[in-house]
Amino acid sequence: MSGLVARLRLTAPGAVVPVGAVLVALLVGAGVMLAAGVDPVRGYDAMVRGAIGVSSIDFSVASFTAILAMAMAFAVPARMGEYNLGGDGQLCVGGIAAAVVALHLPVPAPLLLPVCLLAAVLAGAALAALSAPLATRAHVPVIISTLLLSTPAVALTSYLVRFPLAQQGSGVPQTPRLPDAAHLPSLPGTQYTNLGLLLVVLVLLVVVVLDGRTSLGYELRAVGANRSFARYGGISVPGLTLGALTTAGGIAGLAGAVVVTTQPFRFIDGALTAPGYTFAGVAAALLAGGRPALLPLTAALFTVLQVGSTGMERDIDLPRQLGQVLQAVVILVLALRTVAVAAAARRARRRVPERS
């Protein structure tokens, strides 16, 4: 057993692997820039300025809000070893639910925005919750069911916004503009940064407290560390799975509502999936090791990669897809580390009987 413990200590992530993953990604990006004849220092300077420059910081903070929410939507079930890859579907059903309520539900103006947000949370939670019984009763892995359920959910929202909910006379598949009572109030001096940022940060604080200071957080981590032992200890794995996925879907649905109730105040087909909020959120959660307290830092990093790549394309004519390449490299390095740890653990377990 001491051999197993020693090996796991040697391969423990700490800060080494995440920092190393970022450095590898930056080196790969530098290599791509050199191959394109661009000075990497100039390229990364353009990326950072494109994300935190005066003209773009407002949009960057709005993107950070969505990425942070999607990082939480992945991190919460990841604490128990379940991986929610259905963020796009949960994001879209949350957004369309908010739009439907705002446009067609007779709600008094003072209550319209809260009801829109609540509807979005419930829609995202309901979609994610479908994966819980599939996992616990039908033995369909969450990582597969969430991904498979996401595709028809996104397709359904696309159909709705192109036909029954479409704005008449518009060449763009979108809903009519939401009524003023359904708009999230902007923060002073901003256009895109609004109360949604505060809502997401509040949710993050709740998640951090639940994760680190409650028995619920302990149970999640216990299941993630050893599911069989946690079940033997009396933890209800099916109930915990349902709760974690419902929470994750609700957070993703809230993110969809925040996007829809922000400028231009309508659901536009593809506007929630094209920016890659889910992919960036997954990468941020993986880089943080699923630890909620680290999500703001890693979400900020991927916001710079995502938003800054657009500024890089504008200023030095490098394709914005380079930002997606860097995100993919980070995920690849972290995945390779996970495979290496699993292989080391298996080898150590095989040697335990020989030494006992």
Which pLDDT band holds residue 287 (cuts at 50, 70, 90)? very high
Q: Are 87 and 252 in contact (CB under 8 A)?
A: yes
- Phi-psi region at 317: left, alpha or beta (left = phi > 0; alpha = psi -120 to 50): left
Q: What is the pLDDT of residues 208-257, one digit of tens each?
A: 999 999 999 999 999 999 998 899 999 999 999 999 999 999 999 999 99
246 found inside a domain? yes
344 found inside a domain? no
> What are the residues whose beta carbons fall under 8 Å from the beta carbon of 150, sequence distance 6 or more?
85, 86, 87, 88, 89, 90
64 found inside a domain? yes
Mean pLDDT of 190-214: 96
- Look at the alpha carbons of 304, 310, 312, 318 in this order and tell me if their dihedral is positive or negative: positive
131 found inside a domain? yes
Q: What is the pLDDT of residues 134-175, one digit of tens each?
A: 999 999 999 999 999 999 999 999 999 999 999 999 889 999
Report the number of distinct structural domains present in the chain: 1
78 found inside a domain? yes
Which pLDDT band holds residue 302 (cuts at 50, 70, 90)? very high
Mean pLDDT of 195-206: 98
More confident residue, 13 or 342: 342
Which pLDDT band holds residue 14 (cuts at 50, 70, 90)? low
Q: Which residue has the tokens 């609700």?
A: 250
Q: What mean pLDDT is reported for the chain?
A: 91
Q: Are 170 and 268 in contact (CB under 8 A)?
A: no
125 found inside a domain? yes
Q: Containing domain of residue 121, as a range?
A: 52-275
**pTM score, two decimals?**
0.91
pLDDT score, position 3: 42
99 found inside a domain? yes
260 found inside a domain? yes
Q: Which two tokens stand for residue 47?
A: 């990326």
